Amino acid sequence: MAESEGSWDFFPAMVAGVIICALAAVALFLPLIQNSPHGELLGWLLIVVGIAEAGSGWKRSKRRTGRIAFAAGAIALVIGFLFLLNPSLHIVPAAYLIMLWLLLRGALLLAVSFPWKDPEHAWLAVSGFADIGLFLVLLAGLPVTALTISLFGPTPEVLAHFSLIVAASFFVAGLSLVVISLFERRELQ
């Protein structure tokens, strides 16, 4: 019986990955859902991502990748709650919080992915590199974005780029969880 239960340990990561990929689609369409990515919706998206990722990690806490997923989910939860505490955040302050989330999550995933012993750790690195890269994109574009917003307000293009960055991070995180769960499944069989 215990062996049968253990053979499904990969399943929470699979479900969390699919949920996070679906939330990437929601994040991609933020400009259509609202005129400006105010904190409340971003907060709820991050909280759901955090719950999915932390939940899958908690269920798989005996595995290193599970503990890492729990920590990454906790980071998303904290940043999500910061958004909920400031629901009227506009795009530049929201960008700072998203940058903080990307930097913390990316640094965590990169730090624990080394050495790349197996494909699971390589996928942690992929997700970490993606988040650090997206952080750098936001950081590099922030002066131009701030100037554009001060002159014209939050333009549809600025909102679309911001949404694309959030969606890309969600997608890579979700895809990583799905791929990691497939490796865990193969290992458990």
Tell me which DSSP letter residue 84 carries: H
Dihedral class, residue 32 (left if φ above 0, else alpha if ψ from -120 to 50, else beta): alpha
What was the pLDDT predicted at 154? 67
Residue ranges covered by each domain of the chain:
2-188
CA atoms within 13 A on the CB side of 59: 19
Q: How far from chain centre, in Å, is Cα 139?
A: 17
What was the pLDDT predicted at 38? 62
Task: Determine phi and psi for 128, rounding to 5 degrees.
Answer: -65, -45
What was the pLDDT predicted at 166? 92
What was the pLDDT predicted at 34? 64
Question: pTM of the full predicted structure?
Answer: 0.86
Q: Which residues of the chain have pLDDT under 70?
A: 1-8, 34-38, 153-155, 188-189
Q: Is there a cis peptide before residue 119, judged by omega within 30 degrees of 0?
A: no
